[in-house]
Chain A
Amino acid sequence: MVDVNVINPFLEAAISTLEMVAQIKLTVGKPFLRENLDFSDENVLTIVGITGAMKGRVIMALPASNAKNVASNMMMGMPVDELNEMALSALSELGNMTMGTAATIFSTKNVLIDITPPMIQHGTVKMETFNSQMICVPMLKDGTDFMEINIILKTNN
């Protein structure tokens, strides 16, 4: 079961942040539960941990071409042909701003969370997690898959 009250602040935060820093308008696709995380090297993952009233992490997964597009827009149109340190730093900051915004939205509902500094992972990766629910929300641009927001929350306390 997916509780929309838990996932909506993350989605709202992602939509507003992407629009503000990268001028990209996203819409929410159909969420689904996943058993494990399995990413090919075509993806850039921005991972931010959550502590406090909720525990877990959020993984924003962007196909490399979209990641370059976002990083370029964030840097005022500077061309990004490869995901160099500055581009990865921009994507890391995208994770920080999205999750900071989510934390602010949760705080208005009296849910107090803190976030960890973001970590970027690229390359083929398989992740397993236990006692957690993994909700994947595809985010669409012009009706096509653009990025995924994976919300991984601990289920028992």
Chain B
Amino acid sequence: MAKSVLVVDDAAFMRMMLKDILTKNGFEVVGEAVDGGDALKKYEALKPDLVTLDITMPEMDGITALKELKKMNPDIKAVMCSAMGQQSMVIEAIQNGAKDFIVKPFQAERVVEALTKVGNM
């Protein structure tokens, strides 16, 4: 069965791109959230298998959202998807439970590879 994904990004363009890549590669995008707060609500309602999380977002950022999501589900399968690729940022995300980190701009294959791997964990 197709893995369900919640895509979290403040940019409509990026949500569209991720949705397009994932849908074409056998994932089902069940929801989109525009910031961390929205992500928490939609995660609870939709219970997706996977979450992609942007970091730089207004209201609640992706790292804060990740910490909150981890409280809701300690086994959450979240993949960060951010333009902020500094080593310190990657380490912080992984320490807070992110399963992988995709740096924008990305190639479609990188996204599919990461979500496939994390989905099968």
Closest Cβ–Cβ distance, residue A112 to chain B (whole Å): 7
Determine if B117 is an interface residue (Cβ-Cβ < 8 Å). Answer: no
Known interface pairs A17-B105, A92-B11, A104-B103; A97-B83 also in contact (CB < 8 Å): yes
Identify which of residues 1-56 in chain A touch chain B, using a CB-to-CB cut-off of 8 Å: 17, 20-21
Contact call B13/A104, Cβ cutoff below 8 A = no
Determine if A103 is an interface residue (Cβ-Cβ < 8 Å). Answer: yes
Determine if B57 is an interface residue (Cβ-Cβ < 8 Å). Answer: yes
Interface hit among A57-65, A83-91, A137-145? A83-91
Closest Cβ–Cβ distance, residue A88 to chain B (whole Å): 8
Tell which of B13, B16, B58, B86 touches A103, judged by Cβ atoms closer than 8 Å.
B86
Contact call A90/B86, Cβ cutoff below 8 A = no
Determine if A125 is an interface residue (Cβ-Cβ < 8 Å). Answer: no
Tell which of A89, A90, A100, A117 touches B85, judged by Cβ atoms closer than 8 Å.
A100
Closest Cβ–Cβ distance, residue B38 to chain A (whole Å): 14
Tell me the count of chain A residues lying within 8 A, CB to CB, of chain B: 24
A-B contact count (CB 8 A): 63
User: Interface of chain B, helix or strand or loop or mixed?
Assistant: loop
Closest Cβ–Cβ distance, residue A83 to chain B (whole Å): 12
Contact call A104/B11, Cβ cutoff below 8 A = no
How many angstroms between the C-alpha atoms of A4 and B13 in the bound complex?
33
How many angstroms between the C-alpha atoms of A20 and B105 in the bound complex?
7
Residues in chain B near residue A67, CB distance under 8 A: none
Residues in chain A near residue B14, CB distance under 8 A: 89, 93
Contact call B88/A101, Cβ cutoff below 8 A = no
Determine if B10 is an interface residue (Cβ-Cβ < 8 Å). Answer: yes
Residue positions of A touching B, CB distance < 8 A: 17, 20-21, 74-75, 85-86, 89-90, 92-93, 96-97, 99-101, 103-104, 107, 112, 114-117
